[in-house]
Amino acid sequence: MYKSLLRPLLFRLDPELAHEITVEWLSRAGRFSVTKSLLNQLYGSRVPELPVELMGIHFPGPVGLAAGLDKEARCIRALSALGFGHLELGTVTPKPQSGNPKPRMFRIPEHQAIVNRMGFNSGGIKPFLENIARTEKTVPLGINLGKNAITPIEHAAEDYITGLKQLYLYADYFTINISSPNTKNLRDLQSEDALDALLDRLMTMRQELADEFSRTVPVAVKIAPDIDNVTIPSLAGLLVQHGIDAVIATNTTIDHSAIAGSQYADEDGGMSGAPLKHRANEVVKLLYKELAGKVPVIGVGGIFSSEDAWQRLLAGAEMVQIYTGLIYHGPGIIGEIVSGLAQRVEQSGASTLQEAVRRARQSATQYN
């Protein structure tokens, strides 16, 4: 139904308008048991159980929603009914901000890609907090934190700390977004000295909050695909040194060479979708090698099928997230990916997905 009916209609609209309509519909659908039940019947009920244990959290499935779709935590009920193993909400900034000037989102259908330069458009923490506080959750919720554009980069830690403090009671985990290409100088926080200082402050605050609330909320860091390979060992070392609970790889890329010649190839912004798959796989593989199991990897970028997800897991990820694949293939993609992974588990004779992946990695290593 999505590919034959809804997608053609949505793709006739401006991409950001289509996004806004989708969010509004999902928000309304989540308020009524009949529509939630319908979504579950159409999609969620077709997703087999395939749990993953990660960061001390029980995830009912290995496919989560990447940040960017539900920026204000308006669609938790409806999205949960689709069969996601977790939802990453946001990016949310402390203060409201409109983001970059429009137009700022562009589809490239021939490459199953999207270019965006949204710029952390956010209603701020207040409406986000109100929405998440009144919603009963059924799957783990991650909260993706960003900094306001007006905050100088040298004071970025204050914005992330504000998010940690105000949303601590509602997050199953936090993601520190230092890799969006659409906020000026944000990626400078990935440099060794800046990242060291930032993580030191954030993890100190996390410990203070854990002591206060007798609950430790995991903290993940989301990195860019455009990071130089030679800097990955030092970055991985900092993640281990500061006790980061996971790394999410990767965000969108500023390398548009894979879509050269397309209508929007020269638009500024980060590209997501199928062309990102190879580089995202490569970054996951490099991180996995350097981290040596000390910090788990969550894979995102260019995942459109169970084979894509399986290859990301073999590269080193423990679970995956999708977003652009959802836009091009609809909610049915969740069940398709998880069903394909479940078949892999059954064929391997393993009892869990993680065990099946470990066996496959070992076999690949021995073969090589």
Give the single-character DSSP code of 101. Answer: P
Respond yes or no: is residue 180 known to be catalytic: yes
Amino acid at 235: L
Q: Measured on CA atoms in the order 226, 229, 234, 237, is the torsion positive or negative?
A: positive
Q: How far apart are CA 203 and CA 178, in angstroms?
A: 15
Residues 104, 16 contacting (CB under 8 angstroms)? yes
CA atoms within 13 A on the CB side of 363: 8
Per-residue tokens: 26? 């999902």
Start-to-end CA span in the chain (Å) = 43
Q: Name which of 356, 276, 222, 278 is nearest 108 in CA terms.
A: 276
Q: How far apart are CA 95 and CA 162, in angstroms?
A: 10
Catalytic pick from 122, 180, 262, 272? 180
Q: How far apart are CA 296 and CA 244, in angstroms?
A: 9
Residues whose CB falls within 8 Å of the CB of residue 166, separated by 6 or more in sequence, listed in order: 94, 125, 129
Q: How far apart are CA 356 and CA 348, in angstroms?
A: 6
Residues 315, 299 contacting (CB under 8 angstroms)? yes
The vertex-147 CA angle with 141 and 152, nearest 5°, equals 165
Cα 247 to its chain centre, rounded Å, is: 10
Q: How far is CA 307 from CA 51, 65, 99, 316, 320, in A?
A: 18, 18, 35, 14, 12
Q: Which residues are catalytic?
A: 180
